[in-house]
A and B are shown apart, each in its own frame.
Chain A
Amino acid sequence: GENVEQHPSTLSVQEGDSAVIKCTYSDSASNYFPWYKQELGKGPQLIIDIRSNVGEKKDQRIAVTLNKTAKHFSLHITETQPEDSAVYFCAAPKAAGNKLTFGGGTRVLVKP
């Protein structure tokens, strides 16, 4: 089955700096890669996703890059703000399946 690994597990950055989280996946047939942000005590919320027919996608201060050959994708947050502090999860589905496999999560702390 799909195996998703996420690094780092914790990330502390100064406000205004950039944060990068990386994930690798094992199923080469996977073609959809979402990123979720989870604030304390709440359910994860989708912040950005990318499909396998593109290599990069941006939405204001966040961007996701995908390298299908190497089977990894990354989340980039620029000009970080204190409200970016949360746990971030990457995920990948089994090809044509009904299940999503999540990475272990990255706890991001943005220091003012």
Chain B
Amino acid sequence: SQTIHQWPATLVQPVGSPLSLECTVEGTSNPNLYWYRQAAGRGLQLLFYSVGIGQISSEVPQNLSASRPQDRQFILSSKKLLLSDSGFYLCAWTMGSLSGNTIYFGEGSWLTVV
């Protein structure tokens, strides 16, 4: 069966420090991968998605970047964090087009920028 892991689960970082959140999917190949952000008590905002190694699409201009160095690995990064980057970050995956496939989420990473 397929599983998705993301880490760290919680992170407290000072303003201006770098960020790296990692996500891996097991039990499948060539998945579509996604990073979502959820502000406290709010909905899900798509940040990045990737349909293959090295292929990244950005949904909103921001202080973050994403990379996909391996087929089942997706990394969310920042060189200098802002207070507004605080939130709950969710990695997700699906196979093929979303028109017929379920998207599965990881357990999330809580980021607090202080």
**Contact stretch, chosen from A14-22, A57-65, A102-110:** A102-110
Main SS of the interface on chain B? loop
Cβ-defined contact, A43 with B100, below 8 A = no
Tell me, yes or no, whether B103 is within 8 Å of chain A by CB: yes
Tell me, yes or no, whether B7 is within 8 Å of chain A by CB: no
1/0 per residue B75-114: CB within 8 Å of A? 0000000000000001010000111111111111010000
A43-B90, A44-B90, A105-B43 given; A100·B99 CB < 8 A:
no
A44 vs B106: C-alpha distance when bound (angstroms): 8
Cβ-defined contact, B108 with A43, below 8 A = yes
A-B contact count (CB 8 A): 64
B residues apposed to A, CB below 8 Å: 32, 34, 42-44, 46, 49, 51, 59, 90, 92, 97-108, 110
Residues of B within 8 A of A98 (CB): 32, 49, 51, 97-98
Cβ-defined contact, B99 with A97, below 8 A = yes
Cβ-defined contact, A42 with B108, below 8 A = yes
Cβ-defined contact, B49 with A103, below 8 A = no
A residues apposed to B, CB below 8 Å: 30-32, 34, 36, 41-46, 49, 51, 89, 91, 93-105
Residues of B within 8 A of A96 (CB): 97, 99
A103 vs B99: C-alpha distance when bound (angstroms): 17
Distance (whole angstroms) from the CB of B86 to the closest CB of chain A: 15
A96 vs B104: C-alpha distance when bound (angstroms): 18
A100 vs B101: C-alpha distance when bound (angstroms): 11
